[in-house]
């Protein structure tokens, strides 16, 4: 039976935590954009009045789009600066290069989403470019 490589500790675990939080906030704000748009269209009274939605769904839509845009830009900039210490691949953002054979992918999710889900639920991840396992704790 081949020995399994022990997960290395990541040198900046705070960056991983921030990346997971940014991804979660982006996902939740995207849900709020969809929900507020649907409620704005469903509860609309006067088609000519922009603010006539039930309890200001128009304002909720605009605010949620602005929040989503802000956090998406922040997430993109953070993803550019967070990379694997061995291969220097950005694991919060996929590139068009080949993935390692040990890279994990859950169902229909992308490799970077799988990294985020692994970090969120297990505290470990496998780099999609070099296949090295990493962990949050030392």
pLDDT band at residue 2 under the 50/70/90 scheme = low
Taking the C-alpha atoms of residue 12 and residue 99, their distance in angstroms, rounded to an integer, is: 23
Taking the C-alpha atoms of residue 72 and residue 70, their distance in angstroms, rounded to an integer, is: 6
pLDDT tens digits for range 105-129: 788 888 888 888 888 888 888 888 8
Q: What is the mean pLDDT of residues 25-54?
A: 77
pLDDT tens digits for range 46-92: 656 555 555 677 888 889 999 999 999 999 999 888 888 878 888 77
- Residue 33 contacts residue 64 (beta carbons within 8 Å): yes
pTM of this structure: 0.77
Predicted confidence at residue 86, as pLDDT, reads 79
Predicted confidence at residue 5, as pLDDT, reads 62
Spell out the residues 6+ positions from residue 12 whose beta carbon is closer than 8 angstroms to its own. Answer: 82
Predicted confidence at residue 102, as pLDDT, reads 74
pLDDT band at residue 4 under the 50/70/90 scheme = low
Q: Which sign does the torsion angle of CA 62, 68, 73, 74 carry?
A: positive
pLDDT band at residue 13 under the 50/70/90 scheme = confident
């Amino acid at each position: 039976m081949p020995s399994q490589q022990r997960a290395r500790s990541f040198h900046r675990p705070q960056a991983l935590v921030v990346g997971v939080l940014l991804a979660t906030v982006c996902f939740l704000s995207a849900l709020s954009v969809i929900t507020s748009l649907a409620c704005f269209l469903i509860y609309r009274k006067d088609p000519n009045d922009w603010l006539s939605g039930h309890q200001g769904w128009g304002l909720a839509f605009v605010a949620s789009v602005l929040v989503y845009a802000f956090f998406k830009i922040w997430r993109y900039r953070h993803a550019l600066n967070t990379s694997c210490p061995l291969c220097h691949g950005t694991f919060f953002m996929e590139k068009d290069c080949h993935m390692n054979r040990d890279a994990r992918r859950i169902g229909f999710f992308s490799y970077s989403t799988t990294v985020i889900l692994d970090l969120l639920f297990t505290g470990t991840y496998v780099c999609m470019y070099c296949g090295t396992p990493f962990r949050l704790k030392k």
